[in-house]
């Protein structure tokens, strides 16, 4: 029997809803086919945006979407993607598969998509190969309401009113695909570019500097030392890659060793956030600068017979567990982590949605976002669970992982994962400081390699079920969490 304690008397910070954000890049079938099919498509759409995808994203309350990259961002010239579509420049997407990018999805289309979904746009500017003027004019084009060359151009392209764009990043991975810069050089470049990103009217930009890749603590130090007063957020990228790049393995055909190896790697997110935050604390003890984890997720071999540059992978219960522990970790660090964006939303890496022509399936990771959505903008509660180590060889992980929050109506939401591939666990749950009149629970469970597929009858192999096994025993509650499972419990 494991003790699970939720302390409603000990509250933490607010869990920003943007922690549940997503990322969409011009990569493979994320944009084209995944969210945008064009107005003349037979696939039901509104202004070219797939209606099935929009509806699915509304259901999980997608709060914010990052675009257009990734590595693509530092090769993207936004003016190529505005105006009459037939006149838009065609270019080669050199990073991702060498395919032709016809720019039919550009600024207007992205902001239209965000409006349909009801999420905040997060635009990533081009520092690596773009100019200061280009970046500055993009902001003017999108957000200036008065008379100016860029607002005039916007109006000529069919949009009179400016959009509201809050989140804006100045370059992506500038230590790598965004220009191979040293942190000292990037910090200076960042300071220069961001100077010309203006707040027009009541549109106040939230500026995000390119931060480190996983364990590059020096990058964080140099950026904080030299540019902290010019940024609202610093990004962090961390991918869960089992074993190593060459042996990351299949998304669906993997051993128990790979299962635990993946979970252990995912749990490293906690260490990374702690260490980067510790460095940030030295320069910013009041935590004015946020850590923005704007790329995270699993990265495996692509599916057989697919373009290696398209990064298309399936998604199993293993991914659901990675999402569950990662989101629990973000909740736990909500004092510093203000936004996170899973890579990527549709058809790329740890996608929540996969499409094939007119068909769409929701992955196990999608269901985790659905079960966790009640945490959005709620207040973190202290939680503790007694865990045992499970795993293989050197890859041991705690079997249970928890997070809890309380929303403005006093509803408590608990998310609990059982990382054991095969063992159920009995739980004795104690809720301090709340007399619940109602308790509801859902569970997502299956074999570690279970996944949803396009074949007939396989789209819902993995989906959340109502869980009615919670019993009141004295002051506490008891239940058995299945093996390889994610649970959400709501106490009203």
If binding is defined by CB under 6 A, does position 112 make contact with ligand AHR? no
If binding is defined by CB under 6 A, does position 70 make contact with ligand AHR? yes
Min CB(79)–ligand AHR separation in Å: 21
Per the annotation, the verdict on 295 as an active-site residue is: yes
Task: Give the range of 69-77, 125-133, 390-398, 413-421 binding ligand AHR by CB under 6 A.
Answer: 69-77
137: its two tokens: 């004019």
If binding is defined by CB under 6 A, does position 171 make contact with ligand AHR? no
Min CB(349)–ligand AHR separation in Å: 6
> How many residues in the shown chain lie near ligand AHR by CB under 6 A?
10
**Interatomic CA distance for residues 289 and 371, integer angstroms:** 29
Reference 295, options 170, 403, 173; nearest CA is: 173
Number of Cβ within a 10 Å radius of residue 158: 9
Task: Give the range of 64-72, 80-88, 219-227, 446-454 binding ligand AHR by CB under 6 A.
Answer: 64-72
Reference 193, options 279, 71, 74; nearest CA is: 74
CA atoms within 13 A on the CB side of 223: 35
Task: Give the range of 2-10, 68-76, 248-256, 484-492 binding ligand AHR by CB under 6 A.
Answer: 68-76
Q: Which of 48, 69, 162, 364 binds ligand AHR (CB under 6 A)?
A: 69
Which residues are registered as beta bridge partners of 451?
316
Smaller CB distance to ligand AHR: residue 6 or 342? 342
Instruction: With beta carbons less than 8 A apart as the criterion, state whether 404 and 381 touch.
Output: yes
Smaller CB distance to ligand AHR: residue 65 or 150? 65
Instruction: With beta carbons less than 8 A apart as the criterion, state whether 172 and 124 touch.
Output: yes
Min CB(294)–ligand AHR separation in Å: 9
Phi/psi of residue 3, nearest 5 degrees: -85, 135
Min CB(344)–ligand AHR separation in Å: 6
If binding is defined by CB under 6 A, does position 173 make contact with ligand AHR? yes
Smaller CB distance to ligand AHR: residue 344 or 363? 344
Smaller CB distance to ligand AHR: residue 74 or 449? 74
Smaller CB distance to ligand AHR: residue 194 or 344? 344
Smaller CB distance to ligand AHR: residue 73 or 414? 73
Cα(first)–Cα(last) distance of the chain, in Å?
A: 25
E-only strand ranges, 328-373: 337-343, 353-356, 359-362
CA angle 70, 57, 334 (to 5 degrees): 65
Smaller CB distance to ligand AHR: residue 137 or 319? 319
CA atoms within 13 A on the CB side of 363: 28
Min CB(315)–ligand AHR separation in Å: 15
If binding is defined by CB under 6 A, does position 302 make contact with ligand AHR? no
Please report, as residue ranges, which positions from 17 to 36 form the binding site for ligand AHR (by CB under 6 A).
25
Residue of 18, 109, 295, 374 marked active site: 295
Task: Give the range of 63-71, 186-194, 320-328, 334-342 binding ligand AHR by CB under 6 A.
Answer: 63-71
If binding is defined by CB under 6 A, does position 172 make contact with ligand AHR? yes
Instruction: With beta carbons less than 8 A apart as the criterion, state whether 274 and 280 touch.
Output: no
| H or E element, residue 234 | strand 233-240
Smaller CB distance to ligand AHR: residue 162 or 233? 233
Question: DSSP class of residue 36?
Answer: B
Spatial neighbors of 369 by CB under 8 A, at least 6 apart, are: 20, 60, 323, 327, 342, 352
432: its two tokens: 């301090």
Instruction: With beta carbons less than 8 A apart as the criterion, state whether 330 and 339 touch.
Output: no
Task: Give the range of 9-17, 141-149, 195-203, 342-350 binding ligand AHR by CB under 6 A.
Answer: 342-350
Smaller CB distance to ligand AHR: residue 25 or 140? 25
The residue assigned the tokens 């509803």 is 411
If binding is defined by CB under 6 A, does position 295 make contact with ligand AHR? yes
- To 10 degrees, what angle do helices 132-143 and 107-117 make? 40
Min CB(71)–ligand AHR separation in Å: 4
Measured at CB, which residue is nearest to ligand AHR?
A: 70
If binding is defined by CB under 6 A, does position 343 make contact with ligand AHR? yes
> What is the contact mask toward ligand AHR in residues 216 to 255, using x (rule: CB under 6 A)?
----------------------------------------
Residue of 173, 189, 374, 406 marked active site: 173
> Strands 233-240, 206-209: parallel, antiparallel or unpaired by DSSP?
parallel
Please report, as residue ranges, which positions from 376 to 405 form the binding site for ligand AHR (by CB under 6 A).
none
Instruction: With beta carbons less than 8 A apart as the criterion, state whether 129 and 74 touch.
Output: yes
**Interatomic CA distance for residues 156 and 297, integer angstroms:** 40
The residue assigned the tokens 């074949």 is 455
If binding is defined by CB under 6 A, does position 71 make contact with ligand AHR? yes
**Interatomic CA distance for residues 144 and 202, integer angstroms:** 10
Per the annotation, the verdict on 173 as an active-site residue is: yes
CA atoms within 13 A on the CB side of 157: 22
Question: What are the residues binding ligand AHR (CB under 6 A)?
Answer: 25, 69-71, 172-173, 295, 343-344, 349
Active-site residue set: 173, 295
């Amino acid at each position: 029997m494991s003790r699970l304690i939720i302390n409603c008397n000990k509250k933490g910070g607010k869990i920003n809803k943007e922690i549940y954000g997503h990322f969409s890049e011009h990569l493979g079938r994320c944009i084209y086919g995944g969210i945008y099919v064009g107005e003349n498509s037979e696939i039901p759409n509104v202004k070219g945006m797939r209606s099935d995808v929009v509806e699915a994203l509304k259901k999980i309350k997608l709060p914010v979407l990052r675009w257009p990259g990734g590595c693509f961002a530092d090769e993207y010239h936004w003016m190529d993607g505005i105006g009459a579509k037939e006149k838009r420049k065609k270019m080669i997407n050199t990073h991702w598969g060498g395919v032709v990018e016809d720019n039919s999805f550009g600024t207007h289309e992205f902001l239209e998509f965000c409006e349909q979904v009801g999420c905040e746009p997060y635009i990533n500017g081009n520092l690596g190969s773009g100019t200061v003027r280009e970046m500055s004019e993009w902001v003017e084009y999108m957000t200036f309401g008065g008379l100016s060359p860029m607002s005039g151009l916007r109006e000529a392209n069919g949009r009179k009113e400016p959009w509201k764009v809050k989140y804006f990043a100045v370059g992506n991975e500038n230590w790598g695909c965004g220009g191979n810069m040293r942190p000292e050089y990037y910090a200076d470049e960042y300071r220069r570019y961001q100077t010309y990103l203006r707040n027009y009217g009541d549109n106040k930009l939230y500026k995000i500097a390119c931060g480190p890749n996983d364990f590059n603590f020096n990058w964080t130090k140099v950026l904080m030392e030299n540019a902290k007063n010019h940024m609202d957020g610093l990004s962090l990228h961390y991918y869960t890659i089992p074993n190593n790049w060459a042996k990351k393995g299949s998304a669906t055909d993997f051993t128990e060793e790979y299962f635990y190896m993946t979970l252990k790697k995912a749990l490293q997110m906690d260490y990374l956030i702690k260490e980067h935050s510790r460095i940030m604390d030295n320069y910013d003890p009041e935590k004015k600068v946020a850590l923005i984890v704007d790329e995270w997720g699993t990265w495996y071999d692509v599916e057989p017979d697919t373009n290696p540059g398209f990064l298309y992978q399936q998604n199993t219960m293993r991914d659901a567990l990675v999402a569950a522990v990662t989101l629990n970790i973000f909740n736990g660090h909500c004092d510093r982590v203000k936004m996170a964006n899973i890579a990527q939303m549709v058809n790329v890496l740890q996608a929540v949605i996969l499409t094939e022509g007119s068909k769409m399936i929701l992955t196990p990771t999608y269901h985790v976002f659905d079960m966790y959505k009640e945490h959005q903008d709620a207040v973190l509660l202290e939680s503790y669970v007694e865990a045992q180590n499970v795993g293989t060889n050197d890859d041991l992980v705690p079997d249970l992982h928890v997070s809890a929050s309380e929303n403005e109506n006093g509803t408590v939401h608990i998310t609990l994962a059982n990382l054991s591939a095969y063992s159920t666990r009995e739980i004795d749950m104690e809720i301090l400081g709340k007399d619940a009149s109602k308790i509801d629970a859902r569970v997502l469970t299956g074999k570690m390699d279970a996944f949803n597929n396009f074949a007939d009858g396989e789209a819902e192999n993995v989906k959340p079920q109502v869980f009615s096994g919670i019993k009141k025993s004295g002051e506490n509650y008891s239940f058995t969490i299945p093996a390889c499972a994610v649970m959400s419990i709501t106490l009203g």
